[in-house]
Amino acid sequence: MYRRPKLYTSYEQETQLLPTWTQKGLAGAFIAVLFLLPFDIPVITDPIPGLGWLPIFGDGIPVVRFLGDGEWIRVTSQVLVLAIAALGLNLLSGVAGQVSLGHAFFMGVGACTAAYLGGHADSQVWGHSLPIWIWLPGAGIAAALVGIIVSPVAVRVRGIYLAIVTLGLVFVGIHLGNMSFGRKIAGPPSLGREFQDLDIRLWKEETPLINMSDDGRWLFFDVTEEQKRYLFFLVLAIGFTVLAKNLVRTRTGRAWQAIRDRDIAAEVMGVPDFKSKLEAFAISSFFAGIAGALVVSLSGHLLSDEFNLFFSVEFIAILLIGGAGTTSGALIGTFFVIMIPRFVEEFTRWLADAEGGVSGAVANAILTGGEGDFGFVSSGIESQGWPLSVADWNVVLFGVLIIVFLIFEPLGLFGIWIKVRNYWKGWPFSY
Amino acid sequence: MLANTPLGKLSPASLFVVGLAAAFVIFVIVQAITSPATLLQTVAASLGLGAVYSIIALGFVLIFKATQTINFAQGSLAVAGALFLSFAVSDGHIPFTTIANPLLNIGGPSWIPWVLSVFMALFFAAILGAIVERIAIRPMVGQPLFSVAVITLGLEFILRTLNNDTSETEFRSLEVPWGSEGFKIGDALINWSFVVSIALAIVSFIAVFLFYRSRLGIAMRAVAFDQEAAMAQGIDVGKVFAIAWIAGSMLATLGGIMGTQPPVKQTGAIDPQTATIAFRALPAVVLGGLDSASGALLGGLIVGFAEIFAGQYLSSYASTIGAGYPLIIPYVVMLIGLVVRPHGIFGTPEIRRV
């Protein structure tokens, strides 16, 4: 049995979450790295005796710093949170085959519920100042309930009609935030409301057990606000990943796959069509609701306009770029789609500061603002008009990525990985 | 009690729609007696808005007919077309060049250069549609339909960004010959743009209708039915795709031009919000049936009436139901309509086998 990865002798063996030891090892190592990522790891604190003549060991390398900058930690936290939402959409669209453009709407429902339950009331908004163990599950449950409410309409239509119905939800949802009760929950239009601090406490006014809104000391380590949040989101993201991956192999998950592959055939075989789709909507919305609440808690500010069509399409893009129907695809896709714009921005910022040499020449060729240049990127980050600013180039890049992946690699990054793996599996033969 | 009447044969959902329609008729009669001038003005605006929606919906239908998918980039194509016209008449040069627009010096009544410039904008819009189709849509012949729809979503974001940066998010005037003027019937002021929109919608509808009966139109219907089978019959599917996108892009341009005029916008200029006109026309085409030109016309009118009437007669409740509520009325109408008829009023029900 050993070293025969595709040989399964029992059903339990075949349906394991991580069938091979390589996968188990890689997953374990990956999770360990994720936990260590926010910290400065002291590797060599003193100059190493006898190696002091080597320039890099001369002063000792004080730390290995992965995400030392607070900004990068925040972006990585964002990836973790949005991964939860992407996993939810993957269950609905990738596994159950019900393509939804309304994911942002369900995230908005979750965010608003969280703000209503956990936020602090004032003259403009309602709030109950409840602790996180109420508002976070509450956000998920409220979104799931809304998912159940809309599913009778959503189940009646399929394919492109379903996409348009769910698209309608996004517009209706943004408008709900403008209505009189919506303004009480989501704050004044285009101003929004403050979101409560992230901390874990037993009841309303008690001292928090774990406070994630200031720097502190956990066990023996000094941790900053950002690091605390990162770890909290990481634990949640791992939990939801396991949940999503596990769901796919349960009876419900297999029913979803049957529905996706051919819903009439599935029904003939006794898979309940309506019930399965309803479950898919409810569970996917639950994921979305939790993620919506967390996204807002990360930014600290709730604005109903943010849960718009672009946000929804971002998740569709995540699935398509990562590889629809696969858990790892959803995770890789989230990382890719969220990080790429950040990298482009950072790169441009770095170029803008570059002077002379190769980087200076590149900066001259790409950025405008220098003398005699043919730049196509405006150095102002938010400026309007030609040449486009970095933010606008990022939107264009986002669209181009969607198109390029759909045309050339419909299975996404996961498909590329499969190709690479198969190449080495058969090496030196071509198949 | 109702069981023996024709109404008794309807499902509860259809009965609800019949009830809505009846309530609407009664409401109109009451308004016709109490304030006829306001009603006339509202009806005219509804027809105008419905006509704009119909034009854009026709574009959706044409592209759906050929490619079996929704073109989410219709809004950006509309703005791009309107921008071409704005370059030609407002800046006075041929789009993408610095050459002065020769059409402006033709002379004659002031509307002649404008109309000719519209044709020039249509020409550029056709080129844009053809380029977009060639690069992004043609490789997807025979691919899953939803992938094509997502590609158009990607196109929408690209084109919208380019549009916004080209217009620098300023208001760009289209210099329409009728300005913001109108004429009066009794006390009701009716804007000329309503009339123009309605005329354009009728012309577009007739053009599409005639096109369906041409050789190419029949080819398009065959492609809509089954791409592979059509190919086997010797139909050039790529050409049909191209024609559909060119025609769709031109219809979008007309919609985009009229989408800057009352009743859609009071400013008469292109602004970043103009692109949303396609997302507002989407409910119209879904309501009418994605593959039916008459459905587009009827759906556009229904949505137009619902939106303008709601905007006119519910405005006193705006503080409760939120400012800008007319904009989501199309979607509310669509959701109600879809529950009753999931494939639209004139749409072909999808026949599916195991």
Of the candidates B154, B282, B353, the beta carbon closest to that of A399 is on B154
Measured over the CA atoms of residue B90, residue B96, residue B102 and residue B103, the dihedral's sign is: negative
Q: Which band of pLDDT confidence, cut at 50, 70 and 90, is reported for residue B4?
A: low
Joined tokens for residue A164: 């348009």
Specify the pLDDT at position A324: 84
In a 13 Å sphere around the CA of A320, the CA atoms on its Cβ side amount to 30
Minimal CA separation from B254 to chain A, in Å? 23
Specify the pLDDT at position A58: 47
Q: Tell whether the model's pLDDT for residue A235 goes beyond 80.
A: yes
Report whether A403 contacts A313 (CB < 8 A). no
Residue contact A161–B154, C-beta within 8 A: no
Residue contact B324–A178, C-beta within 8 A: yes
Of the candidates B165, B283, B352, the beta carbon closest to that of A384 is on B165
Q: Which band of pLDDT confidence, cut at 50, 70 and 90, is reported for residue B101?
A: confident
Of the candidates B323, B332, B352, the beta carbon closest to that of A178 is on B323
Q: Tell whether the model's pLDDT for residue A49 goes beyond 70.
A: no
Of the candidates A165, A316, A403, the beta carbon closest to that of B335 is on A165
Q: Tell whether the model's pLDDT for residue A111 goes beyond 50.
A: yes
Q: What are the tens digits of pLDDT across the range A309-364?
A: 889 999 999 998 998 888 999 999 999 999 888 888 888 777 777 666 666 667 66
The rounded distance, in Å, linking the Cα atoms of B219 and B216 is 5
* Shortest CA distance from A409: residue in chain B: B147
Joined tokens for residue A189: 């239009």
Q: At CB < 8 A and 24+ separation, what contacts does A153-158 make?
A: A153/B335, A153/B338, A153/B339, A154/A98, A154/A100, A154/A277, A154/A281, A155/A273, A155/A274, A155/A277, A155/A278, A156/B338, A156/B339, A156/B342, A157/B338, A157/B342, A158/A98, A158/A263
Report whether B197 contacts B56 (CB < 8 A). no
Give the residue ranges of DSSP H helices in B133-175.
145-167
Which of A135, A58, A109 lies closest to A281, judged by CA? A109
Residue contact B334–A395, C-beta within 8 A: no
Residue contact B169–A384, C-beta within 8 A: yes
Residue contact A268–B354, C-beta within 8 A: yes
Q: What are the tens digits of pLDDT across the range B25-77?
A: 999 899 888 888 889 989 999 999 999 999 999 999 999 888 888 899 999 99
User: Which DSSP symbol is given to A210?
Assistant: E
Name chain B contacts of A395, Cβ cutoff 8 Å: 157-158, 160-161
Of the candidates A160, A178, A317, the beta carbon closest to that of B146 is on A160
Choice between A355 and B130, residue whose per-residue pLDDT is larger: B130
Q: What are the tens digits of pLDDT across the range A17-28?
A: 887 888 889 999
How does A395-417 read in b/e, with b if 16+ C-beta sit within 10 Å? Answer: bbbbbbbbbebbbebebbbbbeb
Specify the pLDDT at position A379: 61
Q: What angle (nearest 5°) sits at the alpha carbon of residue B302, between those of residues B300 and B305? A: 105
The rounded distance, in Å, linking the Cα atoms of A108 and A186 is 10
Minimal CA separation from A407 to chain B, in Å? 7
Name chain B contacts of A309, Cβ cutoff 8 Å: 279
The distance in angstroms from the start CA to the end CA of chain B is: 40
Specify the pLDDT at position A22: 83
Name chain B contacts of A396, Cβ cutoff 8 Å: 157-158, 161-162
Name chain B contacts of A400, Cβ cutoff 8 Å: 154, 158
Adjacent-strand bridge partners of B100: B93
Residue contact A398–B154, C-beta within 8 A: yes
* Three-class DSSP category at A64: strand
Specify the pLDDT at position A371: 46
Adjacent-strand bridge partners of A301: A194
CATH of segment(s) B49-340: 1.10.3470
Residue contact B70–A262, C-beta within 8 A: no
Tell me the CA distances in angstroms from A324 to A312, A410, B26, B104, one per residue in order: 15, 9, 51, 53
- Cβ-based neighbour number of residue A97 at 10 Å: 23
Give the residue ranges of DSSP H helices in A215-272.
225-249, 251-261, 263-268
Report whether A60 contacts A48 (CB < 8 A). yes
Residue contact A385–B168, C-beta within 8 A: yes
Q: Tell whether the model's pLDDT for residue B196 goes beyond 50.
A: yes
* Shortest CA distance from A158: residue in chain B: B342
Minimal CA separation from B271 to chain A, in Å? 14
Q: B interface mutation test: which of A99, A161, A305, A318 has the most B CBs within 10 A?
A: A161
Average of per-residue pLDDT across A56-72? 57
Minimal CA separation from A340 to chain B, in Å? 16
Residue contact A400–B154, C-beta within 8 A: yes
User: Which DSSP symbol is given to A411?
Assistant: T
Specify the pLDDT at position B182: 83
Minimal CA separation from A290 to chain B, in Å? 26
Residue contact B136–A403, C-beta within 8 A: yes
* Shortest CA distance from B287: residue in chain A: A161
* Shortest CA distance from B321: residue in chain A: A179
Q: Which band of pLDDT confidence, cut at 50, 70 and 90, is reported for residue A82?
A: very high
Helix or strand holding residue A366 (H, E): helix A357-366
Report whether A169 contacts A150 (CB < 8 A). yes
Average of per-residue pLDDT across A257-262? 92
The rounded distance, in Å, linking the Cα atoms of A395 and A119 is 33
Name chain A contacts of B273, Cβ cutoff 8 Å: none
Q: Tell whether the model's pLDDT for residue A2 goes beyond 70.
A: no
Name chain A contacts of B321, Cβ cutoff 8 Å: 179-180
Average of per-residue pLDDT across B135-162? 87
Residue contact B70–A164, C-beta within 8 A: yes
Report whether B271 contacts B171 (CB < 8 A). yes
Q: Cis peptide before A410, with omega less than 30 degrees from 0?
A: no
Q: At CB < 8 A and 24+ separation, what contacts does B9-13 make?
A: B11/B340, B13/B339, B13/B340
Nearby residues of B211 by Cβ (< 8 Å), 6 or more positions away: B217, B247
Residue contact B319–A180, C-beta within 8 A: yes
* Three-class DSSP category at B266: coil
- Cβ-based neighbour number of residue A334 at 10 Å: 28
Specify the pLDDT at position A374: 56
Q: Tell whether the model's pLDDT for residue A375 goes beyond 80.
A: no
Residue contact B338–A153, C-beta within 8 A: yes
Lowest mean pLDDT among A34-43, B213-222, B265-274: A34-43
Residue contact A164–B319, C-beta within 8 A: no
The rounded distance, in Å, linking the Cα atoms of A286 and A291 is 9
Which percentage of chain A shows pLDDT scores above 70? 83
Which percentage of chain A shows pLDDT scores above 90? 35
Minimal CA separation from B328 to chain A, in Å? 6
Tell me the CA distances in angstroms from A369 to A363, A372, B63, one per residue in order: 10, 9, 42
Q: Cis peptide before A341, with omega less than 30 degrees from 0?
A: no
Choice between A61 and A8, residue whose per-residue pLDDT is larger: A8
Residue at B275: amino acid letter: A
Specify the pLDDT at position B102: 82
The rounded distance, in Å, linking the Cα atoms of A90 and A244 is 9
Nearby residues of B68 by Cβ (< 8 Å), 6 or more positions away: B145, B224, B227
Residue contact B290–A172, C-beta within 8 A: no
The rounded distance, in Å, linking the Cα atoms of B192 and B196 is 6
Minimal CA separation from B255 to chain A, in Å? 20
Choice between A364 and A167, residue whose per-residue pLDDT is larger: A167
Q: What is the mean pLDDT of chain B?
A: 87
Minimal CA separation from A388 to chain B, in Å? 7
User: In sequence order, what E strands does A27-74 have?
Assistant: 40-42, 63-65
Name chain A contacts of B343, Cβ cutoff 8 Å: 161
Name chain B contacts of A317, Cβ cutoff 8 Å: 150, 154
Minimal CA separation from A364 to chain B, in Å? 22
Which of A299, A337, A341 lies closest to A83, judged by CA? A337
Q: A interface mutation test: which of B87, B131, B146 has the most A CBs within 10 A?
A: B146
User: Which DSSP symbol is given to A214?
Assistant: S
Average of per-residue pLDDT across B210-222? 89
User: Burial of B91 by CB count in 10 Å (0-12 exposed, 13-18 middle, 19+ buried)?
Assistant: middle
* Shortest CA distance from A386: residue in chain B: B165
Task: Name the CA dihedral angle for B256, B262, B268, B272, rounded to a multiple of 10 degrees.
Answer: -50
* Three-class DSSP category at A302: strand
Residue at A184: amino acid letter: K
The rounded distance, in Å, linking the Cα atoms of B307 and B329 is 6
Minimal CA separation from A214 to chain B, in Å? 38
Give the residue ranges of DSSP H helices in A250-272.
251-261, 263-268
Minimal CA separation from B140 to chain A, in Å? 7
Specify the pLDDT at position B299: 93
Name chain A contacts of B169, Cβ cutoff 8 Å: 384
Choice between A291 and A196, residue whose per-residue pLDDT is larger: A291
